[in-house]
Structure 1
Amino acid sequence: MKIKRWVIAAPDEACVRTLQRDGGFPPLAAAVLAARGVTSCAQAETYLSCDPKGLNDPFALPDMAVAVETIRDSVSRGERITVFGDYDVDGVTATCMLTHYLRSVGADCAYYIPNRLSEGYGLSRAALEQLWQDGTRLIITVDAGITALDEIAAARALGMRVVVTDHHECHDALPDAEAIVDYKRPGSEYPFRHLAGVGVAFKLISALSGDAEEMLARYADLAALGTVADVMPIVGENRIIVATGLERMARTKNLGLEMLLRESGMKTKRLTSSTISFVLAPRINAAGRMGRAELAAELFLTDDPVRAQALAAELCEQNKKRQSEENHILEQALTRLRKEYNPAEDRVIVLSGENWHHGVIGIVCSRLCDRYGCPVILIALDGDTGKGSGRSVKGFNLFDALSSCEDLLRRYGGHELAAGLTVDREKIEELRARLSEYASEHVTIADLQPQLQIDCEVDPSWISEQAIKGLSLLEPFGQQNAEPVFCMRGMTVEDITPISSDRHVRVTLTKDGKRFSAMLFGTGLGGCGFAQGNSVDAAFHLELNEFRGRATVQLTLCDVQLSECEHLADQRLLNLYNTYMQDGPLSAAEARVLLPSRAELVAVWRHVSCRAEDGRLSVPDGALSRRIAWESRRDINIGKLLVCLDVFSESQLISYHFKEGLINITLKPYEGKADISGSVVLATLQSMAG
């Protein structure tokens, strides 16, 4: 993983005091607001407002009046209407919301969600022909349709009218539909630019009903699900939708959603945007990813409690299958990247694989994008074609990058940070080369270094149960209103405990006599860049961990880096090592600092040989010596470590090199017992040490 660059805000102390004094904000909440540019009580009120009266006029959206007229006309004629959606959470919730509303006003309304595995994203001619034969005369798209020029033309040729509602980027030409409701259309003056597909669908039913607040009360829970799951900014109208939705979700009248909350163990727990992101959305998405999106749609539309419970259980089971497929693809991708990826040169990752489940590759893309800090495209091969999914990082517009390769693609769509594509197998290598060239022209390696935005540096005395409770004023969290990140420097690592089969670690940190329990998720002992006794700088979220009725402060670690004193100590030892390697003079005392004992050589060899996967080991350069020292309880500094590696390299047991802050070690095959008796490196140091 690339080392993150911390960007620490410096809240104006006078603004913090003003927000505390005049606005009554708790200290940490006031500091976060000031760090985010909210410097007055009036600004804070606007920033934090969740008042439904702040919703914009739905008729300000392009073509909304025409869309309403077309739909009302179709309802009055008794025509069959089909809501054509998408298989992700945004698409499913938008489909269910609009279908439920139209049925409630007497419309003959069906819905259609394409099978991700057999049909792919968006409208298809085969689906449109089937809908026509089934009697559909009006199609309303949700979260789809803005680029389906040929398909919508085919629908019109069959005799169907089409209303498009979407939130994706437009191509130069727009489809020939009755109405196109998309705030990203050229010339659109709609004041809020971040609605999800379900948000646009919500604006449509608000326009149809004439009562946005009543529609919000009825459908905010579904709208919040889709908005958070689609990673939309939780500001403006989205903040109103999500805040109201979370409140309604706790006492939802949607039977399917209630059963899903029960089945996932969240019915009696406090619901937040994280509940949606990490508990509900994966289960809903799993149905679509595994080709069963109709399960999720039926769940939210059924009024049969027995059926709802069965569907909720099935979604949880589909999620387990999705996780298994995801881990299988991730391991294959990581194995290849260990050999192929060069962080000093590669600005974009493009991988293709046989038998990859193309419903799952998007999640793997996200994980690899986070890990490597660059855009990632994975392509699942099937015969002569491949279906791909991509995720990007801030500063690299993936949709624009794919547009530059439009001639190589059968189809593509998406937005700045996420996209999908279909490509011929024979064109994948050229696509990889063209995207690499595009990336080299538009971003630098420095641009791709991950940044961690930190709201403020805190003192241990600031952290208390009461202070953490005060942060709830800022909820709901999400894009552009992220959960606050704080940092403390110079903390001492007192203990590290692996949990959940070493998938995560619990860390005890101390500073100024105050002890903190911290969790580092997604990293086992082997991925930690620190060891017991080290001085570290920690960046974290603040949470209250409730167990058996007792709440305790917990730090959820975002990043941990060695403190400056540790780097200075390493640099002194590296300077000493470099002097030795350049045949410079060393005193006996200096030589002894670098000279490993036999037991220390054994400890290093045991660690390297046991931890190497497929004969390879890559570890942060400042971490390996600390980790071995901690495990072996021996004084193994970075200078001694490098001498040990040189001894093993000289003896043809390993090769090693440095790259992007990592020590990369490769084991060499040997027979019999490892023999270092002829090491010149060791003999020379021993003679210097006397």
Structure 2
Amino acid sequence: MKQWTVKPLNKAEINRIQNEYGISPILATMLQIRNINTREEIEDFLYNETEIASPFEIKDMKKAAERVSRAVENGELICVYGDYDADGVTSTALLYSYLETIGANVIFYIPSREAEGYGMNRKAVDTLKSKGVELIVTVDNGIAAVSEIDYANSLGIDTVVTDHHTPQETLPNAAAVVDLHQKDCPSRFKHLSGVGVAFKLMMALEGDADVLLENYADIVCLGTIGDIVELKGENRVFVKRGLQSLSDTDRPGIAALISASGLDDKPITVGNVSFQLVPRINAVGRLGRSENSVRLLLTDDPDEAEQIAGKLDSDNYERKKIESDILEEIDKKIKNNPLLVQRRVIVIDGLGWRPGVVGIVASRIKEIYGKPVIVIADDGKNAKASGRSVEGFPLHTAVAYCADLLQHHGGHPMAAGLSLESKNIAAFREKINEFAVKFGEMPFDTLNIDCKLKPEFISLDILDDLSLLQPYGAGNPTPVFGLYNMKIRDITPLKDDKHLKLLLTRDGVDVTAMLYNTSSREFGFKRGDVIDLAVNLEINNYNGKRYPSVKTADVKDSREDTRAVIESGRVFEDLNTGVIPDRQKLSEILPDRADFAAVYRFLRSNGGWHKKTEALLNETENISYGKIRVILEAMKQLGLIEMTEGIKQCDITLNSVSGKVDLESAAIIRKIKGEL
């Protein structure tokens, strides 16, 4: 569950933007919410498709261009040293392709994710030395490779670093260090991806940004979207131009990738790139075969392109199967040990899991439970892990707190990676949760709603106005609208009950909304319930006609205060995992006999329960979520029910019990009263 927050609106500012710039109310509202207020900001955001700042604003860019130019002129063997994710792959293909075009003697190198890990390493440098490399140009990495670049220097190999990650205190001793996040770098726009920085190096070498965009915008677009950087400023130019190029690409590899992804007759959008093309590029890196993605982007042979694209597609299928198997195993672990997900930081480990996919799995678990999550792949001796956080909890700091248990660690507030010996996993779980308790009140995962919308205002006119905000992405998310107090008229299962079509009504206006990846069994509502929906609006083209389409992102009971529900549930979880809440909060989750009776009567009349636990709130008025959790725990302890709770739902069956049961004797009730 997420806390719903509606962004504050400044109506006076919205009116000013609307009147001053002659735009629609909905577009003015979205711009004000995104803090885009001045004429320069509005024109750049809505209409700029060409303007990119000089590459020489970036510190060391002149040095980098001069060193690369000298290598090209002298016929030195250059190695473009990349990375295995979509940003690293596209950065590598981009710079390699350009250097080859201008006559450079060039090769590329992508380290194996599992065998070598991220960034430069000495064994790779030795390999490149044996091939005769005289200049390494890093893309999407290198800023942290201090010792590795020193080693390359000792072998007579120069290095030009191009990177977009945050520098450490000590910079590498390279021929040039191009990174916008250096403290003394005067560049104005700081949010480029690795492929964006590589493109800037090409600008410094070539001089004409428009010609380069004409030839390479498709590759730059893939990497920019894949790295989830803010789609503002120059990144919007890259993506706008790139989406146009992708829609009419003459690159055989990209055409084959689009076809393998099932997008031949569909518009190429940021969403399609994010969820169809990029995962296929990333999949081979997760499975240790990133060179295939680079070759796909470089090949001029349609037959080879089709073959590689097919392999990427099968690798992506394999990746999804591995991910699904891990999630299924995690579901079993949670059912066997519910305390795993009741801790403040969820730490789940598994033997034989693939390290390359645990980051995706951590993201999925974080979305479900709204807490920081670390998923650990254990090989029996050593383990690698990836974590994802919620806004406001510094995961990299929490991981660093456990440094004495770790072999390596790094990251930023929202994501972290680490490695450790298998024997230290249990101690790591305890220590990172020790940090979380000391941290204080844990932040909630939030769902940000741009504004509330009356159903009668859903129209093609609004969607046409909103289209000026595209492309959507990080820093410019797809608008989320709140449809409040909508009564459910009908629920129709689709595709073997994998998805739901909801017919809703309010004030005489009917709305049809789609809810994907939720079955009727998992859906916690019924006909007649009044609900709130967080939705995205899209244009659906069908039989030559355009229709507004409503896609549901989240649903809640209209009476429900999501913050209060989460807070109440967390008091129970803290209590259950040995963190004693304050007395006031404890008293608020202590149920009385009437609460017990109401929940038990409902379960008996309903024949148990087979949906998410929080959906019981819709059936038990005036009983908080924390109380419901305490009641269920007490009933389980007293043998009144059997209860297993997994990722998707909670299964409760009632036991036959003869005679009266002393509710006060339940361990959790005694524990609460003992603390009070």
Answering whether residue 520 of structure 2 is matched by residue 525 of structure 1, we say yes
Match of 2:429 in 1: 432
Counterparts of 2:633 and 2:223, CA distance in 1: 55
Alignment correspondent of 1:160: 157
Counterpart position of 2:559: 564
Query: CA separation in 2, counterparts of 1:403 and 1:103?
Result: 42
Deviations 1:125-174 (A, max 9, x none): 22221111112111111111222222222222222111111111222222
CA shift in 2, pair 1:28/1:172, >3 Å:
same
Residue 606 of structure 2 corresponds to: 604
Structure 1 pair 680–96 and aligned structure 2 pair: CA distance change class (3 A): closer
1:183 aligned residue: 180
1:125-140 paired onto structure 2 within 5 Å: 125-140=122-137
Q: Which residue of 2 aligns with 1:471?
A: 466
Shift of the alpha carbon at 1:421?
2.5
Partners of 1:594 and 1:479 in 2: how far apart? Answer: 43
Deviation at residue 540 of structure 1 after TM alignment = 0.7
Counterpart residue identity of residue 36, structure 1: R
Q: CA deviation at 1:376?
A: 1.8
2:31 maps to which residue? Answer: 33
**Residue in structure 2 matched with residue 684 of structure 1 by the alignment:** none
Conserved in 2, the CA contact under 8 Å of 1:147 and 1:170?
Answer: yes
Q: Does 1:146 align with 2:159?
A: no
Which region of structure 1 is more displaced relative to structure 2, 136-145 or 499-508?
A: 499-508
Question: Where in structure 2 are the equivalents of 1:543-622 lying within 5 Å?
Answer: 543-564=538-559, 581=594, 604-605=606-607, 607-608=608-609, 611=610, 618-622=613-617
- Who is 1:541 aligned against? 536
Conserved 8 A contact 1:231-1:478: yes
- Over 3 Å counting, the alpha-carbon distance change for 1:414 and 1:280 in structure 2 is same
| Stretch deviating more after TM superposition (148-157 or 202-211) | 148-157
CA displacement at 1:184 relative to structure 2: 1.8
Output aligned runs, 1:639-658, within 5 Å. 652-654=639-641
Shift in alpha-carbon separation, 1:601–1:109, aligned structure 2, 3 A: closer
Residue 373 in structure 1 maps to residue 373 in structure 2: no
Please give the alpha-carbon distance, in whole angstroms, between the structure 1 residues aligned to 2:550 and 2:138. Answer: 44
1:18–1:40 CA contact under 8 A, matched in 2: no
Partner SS for 1:621: helix
**Is residue 491 of structure 1 aligned with residue 493 of structure 2?**
no
2:109 — aligned with what? 112
Measured in 2, the distance between the counterparts of 1:470 and 1:223 equals 27
Contact 2:141/2:163 (<8 A) preserved = yes
Bigger drift between 81-90 and 68-77 goes to: 68-77
2:74 and 2:599 map into 1 onto residues whose CA distance is: 88
Contact 2:341–2:369 (Cα < 8 Å) also in 1: no
1:5 aligns with 2:7: no
Whole-Å separation in 1 of the counterparts to 2:438 and 2:524: 33
For residue 52 of structure 1, give the secondary structure of its aligned residue in structure 2. coil
| Shift of residue 230, structure 1, vs aligned partner | 1.1
Correspondence 1:87 to 2:84? yes
Q: Does residue 52 in structure 1 map to residue 50 in structure 2?
A: yes
Distance of aligned partners of 1:79 and 1:408 in 2 relative to their CA distance in 1, 3 Å threshold: farther
CA distance in 2, matches of 1:499, 1:516: 17
Superposition pairs for residues 140-289 of structure 1, below 5 Å?
140-289=137-286
State the shift of 1:300 in Å: 0.1
CA distance in 2 between partners of 1:423 and 1:651 (Å): 40
Task: Verify the 8 A CA contact 1:95 1:111 in the aligned structure 2.
Answer: yes
Q: 2:638 & 2:210 partners in 1: Cα distance?
A: 76
In 1, are the aligned partners of 2:351 and 2:380 still within 8 Å (CA)?
A: no
Corresponding position of 2:330: 333
Q: Is the 8 A contact 1:35 1:456 kept in 2?
A: no
Runs of 4+ more than 6 Å apart:
644-651, 656-659, 662-665
Deviations 1:278-306 (CA, angstroms, capped at 9, x unpaired): 11111111111111111111100000011
The runs of 5 or more residues in structure 2 that have no matched partner are 566-587, 663-676
Counterpart in 1 of 2:571? none
Q: 2:668 is matched with which residue?
A: none
Task: Indicate the residue corresponding to 1:630 in structure 2.
Answer: none
CA distance in 1, matches of 2:541, 2:223: 28
Cα pair distance change 1:383/1:24, threshold 3 Å: same
Q: Per-residue deviation at 1:457?
A: 0.8
SS of match in other structure, 1:129: helix
Say if 1:397 and 1:417, in contact at 8 Å, map to a contact too.
yes
Distance 1:345 1:440 in 2: 13
TM-score by length of 1: 0.83
Change (3 A) 1:65 1:680: closer
Classify the secondary structure of the residue corresponding to 1:316.
helix
Aligned to 1:74: 71
1:624–1:81: structure 2 CA closer, same or farther, 3 Å change rule? farther
The change in CA–CA distance for 1:337 and 1:172 in structure 2 (over 3 A counts) is: farther
Q: Supply the AA of the counterpart residue of 2:484.
A: R
Structure 1's 237 and 663: CA in aligned 2 closer, same or farther, altered over 3 A?
closer
Task: Quote the Cα distance in structure 2 between the aligned partners of 1:286 and 1:10.
Answer: 40
Residue type at the aligned position of 2:42: A
Kept after mapping to 1: 8 A contact 2:49/2:240 = no
Q: Matched residues in 2 for 1:309 and 1:624: separation?
A: 54
Instruction: Quickly say closer, same or farther: Cα 1:304–1:427, change in 2 above 3 A.
Output: same
Listed one character per residue, the Cα deviations across residues 349-397 of structure 1 (whole Å, up to 9, x for unaligned) are 2222211011111110111121222222222122422122222222233
Per-residue deviation, 1:342: 5.1
> What amino acid is aligned across from residue 112 of structure 1 in structure 2?
Y
Report the Cα distance in structure 2 between the residues aligned to 1:169 and 1:65, rounded to whole angstroms. Answer: 21
**Residues 566 and 419 (structure 1), Cα distance of their counterparts in 2 relative to 1, 3 Å cut:** closer
CA contact (8 A) 1:60 1:190 kept: yes
SS of the residue 1:564 aligns to: coil
Q: For 1:582 and 1:259, how far apart are their aligned partners in 2?
A: 61
3-state SS, counterpart of residue 524 of structure 1: coil
Which of these residues, 93, 99, 105, is aligned with residue 96 of structure 2? Answer: 99
CA distance 1:552–1:142, shift in 2 (3 Å): same
Does structure 2 conserve the Cα–Cα contact (< 8 Å) formed by 1:534 and 1:566? no
Q: Is the 8 A contact 1:493 1:507 kept in 2?
A: yes
Q: Secondary structure in 1 aligned to 2:555? A: strand
Q: How much has 1:251 moved relative to structure 2? A: 1.4
What is the Cα deviation at residue 259 of structure 1? 1.4
Paired residues of 1:11 and 1:35 also in contact (CA < 8 A): yes
- Match for residue 634 of structure 1? none
Matched residue SS, 2:111: coil
Structure 1 position 264, deviation (Å): 1.4
Instruction: Report the CA distance shift for 1:144/1:240 in structure 2 as closer, same or farther (over 3 A).
Output: same
Distance 1:15 1:424 in 2: 56
1:262 Cα offset (Å): 1.8
Kept in 1: contact 2:217–2:239 (CA 8 A): yes
- 2:415 counterpart of 1:418: yes
Output the aligned Cα RMSD: 3.5
SS in 2 for 1:480: coil
Q: Which amino acid aligns with 1:252?
A: T
What one-letter code is carried by the residue in structure 2 that aligns with 1:581? A
Indicate if the aligned counterparts of 2:340 and 2:348 stay in contact, CA closer than 8 A.
Answer: no
* Greater Cα shift, 547-556 or 534-543: 547-556
Q: In structure 2, how many angstroms separate the alpha carbons of the residues matched to 1:336 and 1:645?
A: 20
CA contact (8 A) 1:169 1:414 kept: no
Query: Contact 2:334/2:340 (CA < 8 Å) preserved in 1?
Result: no
Is the CA contact 1:648–1:676 (under 8 Å) kept in the aligned structure 2? no
Q: Does 1:462 align with 2:457?
A: yes
What SS is found at the alignment partner of 2:407?
strand
- Percent identity reads 38
**How many residue pairs are counted as aligned between the two chains?**
632
For the structure 1 residues 414 and 578, does the alpha-carbon distance in structure 2 shift closer, same or farther, using more than 3 Å as the test? closer
